[in-house]
Amino acid sequence: MAKNFNQNITLRSVDFAKWYTNVIKEADLCDYGDDNGSTKGTIVFRPYGYAIWEAIQKILDQQFKNHSVENVMFPLLITEKTFALEKDHIKGFAPECAIVTQVGNKKLTEPFIIRPTSEVLFCKHFQRIVKSYKNLPILYNQWCNVIRWEKTTRPFLRNSEFLWQEGHTVHATSQKALAFTETMIKLYAEFVEQFLAIKVILGKKTVHERFAGALETYTIETMMQDGQALQAGTSHYFGSKFAEIFNIKFTNEFNQQEYIHQTSFGASTRLIGALIMAHSDDLGLVLPASIAPVKIIILNLFPKDEKVTNLVNKLHKVFIKQYQVQVDDSEKSASYKKSAATIKGIPLIIEVGQNEVIKSTIKVTLRHNLKENFLKINSEKQILKAVSDLLTTSNTDLLQNSANNFAKNLQEVTDFKKYQNLVKTHKGYFIAPFCGDYQCEAEIKALTSTTSRCVPLTPYKKNGICFKCHKPNSPWTYFARAY
C-alpha cells in the first residue's frame, strides 16, 4: 500500500502533540466533553475508543481473577472529614479534588469529595470487615471513574475525569503484602508487553515520585515515539500506615491483635494514549492485533458483483470463527475504503475484487508496516494458519519496534553539567547513578524539567557516585521528561 499521507493528520515530525490529537479525531476514538455540553477537560468515548478500553479491561480483569482478586464497587462521594484522616494522602490530592457543597437549594453541613482515589473508603470498609487471620488476605478491585481537576488536559493521558481500575488488598504480614505488590506490577509489565506490544521498564519509584501515602511504589515506565516517558501502571505498598490511622486490626493465630498490611494497584485509560503514541504513524492509528477490537477487515471492492460478494461472505464465515471481523461492502471507492481501514488501525486489511475471484488469491495488507501479502484460497485450515501467522508477526514487530526506540533513545550520563546540556537536545530517557534524596531530585527537576522514572528492579550496573550530589553507592536510575 502506498503511503498517501492523510491531509487531516499533522506529521509527527512537525508537531507530535497535534499529530496525537489528529489521530484520535480521525480514528473516531473520542470527542471532547466540553464540545458536547460536558465539563471542560473531559472526553466522550466514541464506540471504537471504548471498545479498545473494553478489550484492555476484559484481559486485565481475567488476569486479576486468576490471582483471586474480586471485583467490588465503592461510592463516588467521600465525606471531607473521612478524606482528611490521612494528611499525607490528602496533601497529594488536594489541588485536584472536586468538592460538592450544595444539593439543590440546600447547602450541605459537611462537604463531599468526589473520589480522586478510594483508599480511605476501602480503609473504612476494611475496618468493619477485617476480624481474623482466617479471612486474610482480602483482595479487591473496582473498575470505576475518578475525578482529578487537572490544570492541563489531553485525551486519554490527563483528563479531569477518567476510567481506571484500582485494586486494594489486605494481608497478615508485610512480607505477603510486599510479595503481592510485586506480583501485580509484574502482571502489568507482562500485559503491556504481550498485549499492547510496548517495551516496559519495571522498577521502584524514588521517594520524590512515590504515590501519596505509599511506603513503596512500583511502576512500569514506557517510552513514546517522541522520546517522552509515560507511566503505564503502578503497584503500591502501604504497610500498616493506613491501618494505624484507621485502626484496622485482626486477631492473629496466637489470639493477639495486629495491624493489617495493605497494597494498592492501578491502571487507567492512559493505556489507550500509550497505544496511540507508541505505535501509530502519519496515516493514522496502529493497533496490535492482540488488543484491536477488530482484527480483520474485508474490503468488498465490487459489492454489486455476486461472485465477489460470495467470496467475501465465504471468507467472513471462515475468519469469524476465531477473530473479530468487519466487512466493508459500501459503495465507496476502493481507495476510500483502504484509507478508512488504515486510519482505524485494523491489523489486517483484506481486499477482494474480481481479480481475487479469478486467481483464488486474496491481498492482505499488514497495517503496522503496510506490507502486502498474497494468500492462496486453499483449505480453511491453511488460510486460518496464514492469517494467524501474520497477526502474530504484527505483534512481534510492534514490540520489537518499541524496544528499538527505547534502546536508540537511551543516554547514559554520570555528570550533571553534561546532563543539563543533553536535556536541551536529547529526546529520550537518561540513566544515571542517583542517590534518591528528595531534595537532590527536587533540584534536578527545577533545573532540567525532568523527573526520575524509576530505579530498575534489575540493576543497570553496579552502584556509582550520584551524578548530582556525588554521594557514593547510588543506584542507576532512569530520568526523562514525562506525560
295 vs 309: CA distance, rounded Å = 20
Burial 220-236 (b: 16+ CB within 10 A, else e): bbbbbbbbbbbbbbbbb
Per-residue confidence (pLDDT) for residue 40, from 0 to 100:
77
Mean predicted confidence (pLDDT) in 65-80:
96
Q: Name residue, grid cell 472526553.
A: 43
Residue 5, all three cell numbers: 499521507
Q: Is the pLDDT of residue 431 over 70?
A: yes
Per-residue confidence (pLDDT) for residue 96, from 0 to 100:
81
Query: How would residue 35 be classed by pLDDT, with cut points 50, 70 and 90?
Result: low
Helix, coil or strand: residue 113: strand
Burial 46-84 (b: 16+ CB within 10 A, else e): eebbbbbbebbbebbeebbeeeebeebebebebbbebbe
More confident of the two residues 430 and 32: 430
- Give the model confidence (pLDDT) of 159-192 as tens digits: 999 999 999 999 999 999 999 999 999 999 999 9
Mean predicted confidence (pLDDT) in 314-339:
95
Query: How would residue 39 be classed by pLDDT, with cut points 50, 70 and 90?
Result: confident
- Give the model confidence (pLDDT) of 260-284 as tens digits: 999 999 999 999 999 999 999 999 9
377 vs 380: CA distance, rounded Å = 8
Question: What average pLDDT is seen over the chain?
Answer: 94
The burial class, CB within 10 Å (0-12 / 13-18 / 19+), for 434 is: buried
Q: Is the pLDDT of residue 5 over 80?
A: no
What is the rounded (10 degree) CA torsion for 242, 247, 248, 249?
130
Mean predicted confidence (pLDDT) in 359-383:
93
Single pTM value for the model: 0.94
Classify residue 284 by its DSSP letter.
B
Per-residue confidence (pLDDT) for residue 149, from 0 to 100:
85
399 vs 108: CA distance, rounded Å = 52
Q: Is the pLDDT of residue 3 over 80?
A: no
Per-residue confidence (pLDDT) for residue 1, from 0 to 100:
42
Query: How would residue 213 be classed by pLDDT, with cut points 50, 70 and 90?
Result: confident
More confident of the two residues 82 and 221: 221
Query: How would residue 43 be classed by pLDDT, with cut points 50, 70 and 90?
Result: very high
Query: How would residue 131 be classed by pLDDT, with cut points 50, 70 and 90?
Result: very high
Omega within 30 of 0 (cis) for the link into 347: no
The sign of the CA dihedral 268, 235, 197, 382 is negative
Per-residue confidence (pLDDT) for residue 2, from 0 to 100:
44
Q: Which of 86-95, 112-121, 144-153, 192-201 is the least confident region?
A: 86-95
Residue 102, all three cell numbers: 450544595
Per-residue confidence (pLDDT) for residue 378, from 0 to 100:
84
Q: Is the pLDDT of residue 14 over 70?
A: yes
Mean predicted confidence (pLDDT) in 276-299:
97
Query: How would residue 36 be classed by pLDDT, with cut points 50, 70 and 90?
Result: low
Per-residue confidence (pLDDT) for residue 248, from 0 to 100:
97
- Among 75, 116, 118, 117, smallest CA distance to 96 is for 116
- Among 202, 264, 203, smallest CA distance to 237 is for 264
- Among 201, 139, 191, smallest CA distance to 169 is for 139
